[in-house]
Structure 1
Amino acid sequence: MQSPFLSFFQAGFECSTHRRCDGRRLDLIASTRHDRFAETDYRAVAQHGLRTVRDGVRWHLVERSPGVYDWSSFLPMLRAARASGVQPIWDLCHYGYPDGLDIWRPAFVDRMAAFAAAVARLVRDECPEPPIYCPVNEISFWAWAGGDMAHFNPCTERRGMTLKIQLARAAIAVVQAVRDVDPGARIVHADPAIHVVAASAGDEDEAAHAHAAQYEAWDMLSGRLMPELGGRPEYLDILGLNYYSDNQWVLRGPTIERGHPSYRPFRDILAQAYARYGRPMLVAETGAEGDARANWLRYVCGEVAAAIGAGVPVHGICLYPVLDYPGWADDRHCPTGLFGPPDAGGRRPLCQPLAAEIERQAAIRTWHPGRVPQRGCGGRGGRP
């Protein structure tokens, strides 16, 4: 199966734009200064073999007034990607949306679809390479964090399923809108891959339900669940699994650490998702903090290699976030990236152990040969 990606190892730029419940809008592209140094950042990650990147279109900046699009925040990034020869996966909605838009109303779906179509037209005209989009990042996590726990917008409790349905409805509309503009566009649907176990024998059914909930959004998108939303099997294109060290836990209890008898190998989680959907897969986010970075990548690579050896078509691992960033809640420095904060000229310090591990992993296995771009998006001419 030919890979849709230019590189197996990929760079993910944190691009969250949600509002916290205290009203503060976050913009991680700005706070990491990636907006200012996008081309420098793209060239830096490409030098380490990360030629496919996840990045974001900041909807709240593009559409400040309904139906009026200002591309000044996005067009420089789009052109920087082209100049740098990297292949972007553009997140169209990474938790944030324009002020004044009610996420619960039908207009939210209509506005997002129209915005997505406008992005697709711009990308099509600027860059002849077939594009890749992530319509709504982490529908399941957003539904929990924003709908059940009031951690960020829309800051409600006990409305998680309602929000999940609304976000799935919007993602379905986005896929159709994008493909109406550019039928060759590929779609990544990224959501956390989790494992939940019971604390006691009496909790087994509840734990199983919590575990199975990770599939609800993908089931909606593919039409398996609530087909009245408009989902279709072809809408579930590339399955993006986001996986971190805290993605396994005891129901209403602590995280299950690696080495614990209840810890499930990541290869098994990948295999279960593939058995359910039969779609090409991407580890769309993974990473760790501080000194754990290189060791965590080593673990993930070993598990992905085992899954590939068992016939699971995993086409990439995205290091996320590839830049250190300020924490959502308190602005603390989160040392998660391959690169740290920039100096005045955009140069960022390198995490040497992580860079060495990327190089080692690239050398010890043939992950995939990459793929030759069919239409060329590295400054090689306009759209035919």
Structure 2
Amino acid sequence: MTKWFDDGALHFALGIEDTFVPQERPGERAVDEYELTEHYTQWRSDLELVRESGAEMLRWGVPWHRVNPAPGEWDWSWLDAVMARFGELGIRPIVDLLHYGTPLWLEGEFANPDYPQRVAEYSVAVAERYRDVVTDYTPVNEPMIHALFSGEYGYWPPYRTGPGGLVEISAAIARGFVLSQRGIAEVLGDAATFVHVDAGFRYTGDAEAPEHRGTALRLRRQSYLVEDLVTGRVDDAHPLRPLLSENGMTDAALSWFGEAPVRPHVMGVNYYPRHSTEVFEAGVQHGGGFADPRPTRDDGVDGLLEVLRAYAERYGAPVMLTETCVTGTVDERIAWLDASVDAVVAAKARGLPIVGYTWWPLFDMYEWTYRHSTAAREEHLLSMGLWDLVETPSRLERRRNPVADRFAHHAREARGASSERRPQQPQQAQQSQQNSTTDHPEPRG
């Protein structure tokens, strides 16, 4: 059976921002993007927008903290209806299982010794329940952002800091990643497709200045750390082996990854031209992260193609651009959409094994700084989407903008270019699209 990533086409996808950090403490609010964007109540019409856009796929996350509200307890009421709608609309979901948040009852979050088993239990439960609808999974979105924010910067729970925190959280996330993928594979067998996704980090400027050379080299290497762990690439010769050993990773723990590796069918890379390239300045030290950020530089499509090639070569898998956009005016968004699609299409023609392009997100989102703010929701709006979010007295409206038209144009072009190589849509899928107006009762939000 030919899988979608082997059919020679460039597949167009969208995403709905699904960051979940439900824990609160003084001075820090919960972040639940589905709550902030009202996706919990507007999910049905949101999925209709995906079909309207011409996208074949949607990167979409399960809110673990809601479906698993207590140990061993499950509430599938909302998720059942959403998953059924995916099937009716003929949209292929690529399901994010972990997009930053753990349930409130998991004390210590990623540092809890039971975390790897708990996240695997949850992942398997989702795979078993929706095995007839979902075959494509991302076990962990951007694991190195998890490790940095929760393990090095002390920015998100469990608020670890420094190299020791980075290693502790990286190891925990990686172990949960492996157990989750192995569990899903046991449920779905050969039908399972795993799209690993990480952030594309770049470091430039005066990175070779004496005071920055060591830091820049470490950051470049550690940007691959979790993916290297789960794919069994970290051995005694790995350049980060001393860092891991010095900060608590035992030989036995490291050997476990070598004995039980999991690999991506597709390696997803997230790249934002205005944020993914950090600049080192001679004589200036920054710790990184939101608390002490380095300046950034827009290297446009050159930076994009560099990170895509690097991941394709490192992991020997086809790559997918799993997130990209610019936050800006409609004209700025269209300019980046056109430039990035053109670059990806040209690179694919030259032999880069790229199988998908994802604009993120479908509609606008709210900046993560909302967590550390007391300002109203609208003060944190990021204009990024194909649909704008507009505050009204009754609800948060989605208003289509010209970026959606341009995305639909590119998606049509891609389908036309590949139509001779791809089989006709199965009759069953055609019928499900024709019947897509079937209604369902409102789930609990």
Task: Note if 1:135 corresponds to 2:176.
Answer: no
Structure 2 counterpart of 1:123, from 130, 140, 143 = 130
2:336 matched residue in structure 1 = 296
Q: Rg: which structure is higher?
A: 2
Q: How does 1:1-384 map to 2 (within 5 A)?
A: 3-4=4-5, 8-18=11-21, 19=23, 22-101=27-106, 102=108, 103-125=110-132, 127=133, 131-158=135-162, 159-183=165-189, 184-197=191-204, 198-202=206-210, 203-225=212-234, 226-229=254-257, 234-245=262-273, 246-251=275-280, 252=286, 253-258=294-299, 264-291=302-329, 292-330=332-370, 331=377, 332-341=380-389, 348-352=398-402, 354-362=403-411, 368-369=418-419
Is the 8 Å Cα contact of residues 69 and 105 (structure 2) preserved in structure 1?
A: no
After TM superposition, give the deviation of residue 112 of structure 1 in Å. Answer: 0.9
Query: Size of the alignment, in residue pairs?
Result: 373
After TM superposition, give the deviation of residue 315 of structure 1 in Å. Answer: 1.2
After TM superposition, give the deviation of residue 201 of structure 1 in Å. Answer: 3.2
After TM superposition, give the deviation of residue 111 of structure 1 in Å. Answer: 1.0
Q: Which runs of 5+ in 2 are unaligned?
A: 235-253, 281-285, 287-293, 371-376, 433-445
Please report the TM-score for the alignment, with normalisation by the length of structure 1.
0.88
Q: Secondary structure at the match of 2:122?
A: helix
One-letter code aligned to 1:201: A
Q: Secondary structure at the match of 2:31?
A: coil
Among all aligned residue pairs of Structure 1 and Structure 2, give the percentage whose two residues are the same amino acid: 26
Aligned equivalents of 2:10, 2:423: Cα separation in 1 = 8
Aligned equivalents of 1:314, 1:59: Cα separation in 2 = 30
Q: Secondary structure at the match of 1:155?
A: coil
Is the 8 Å Cα contact of residues 7 and 51 (structure 1) preserved in structure 2?
A: no
After TM superposition, give the deviation of residue 256 of structure 1 in Å. Answer: 2.1
Q: 1:2 to 1:57 in 2, by over 3 A?
A: closer
After TM superposition, give the deviation of residue 42 of structure 1 in Å. Answer: 1.4
Q: Secondary structure at the match of 1:340?
A: strand
Aligned equivalents of 2:129, 2:401: Cα separation in 1 = 35
Q: Secondary structure at the match of 2:4?
A: coil
Query: What is the CA RMSD across the aligned residues, in angstroms?
Result: 2.7
Q: Which runs of 5+ in 1 are unaligned?
A: none
One-letter code aligned to 2:387: F
Moved over 4 A (4+): 230-234, 342-347, 363-380
Q: Secondary structure at the match of 2:387?
A: coil
Please report the TM-score for the alignment, with normalisation by the length of structure 2.
0.77
Aligned equivalents of 2:187, 2:71: Cα separation in 1 = 20
Is the 8 Å Cα contact of residues 269 and 307 (structure 2) preserved in structure 1?
A: no
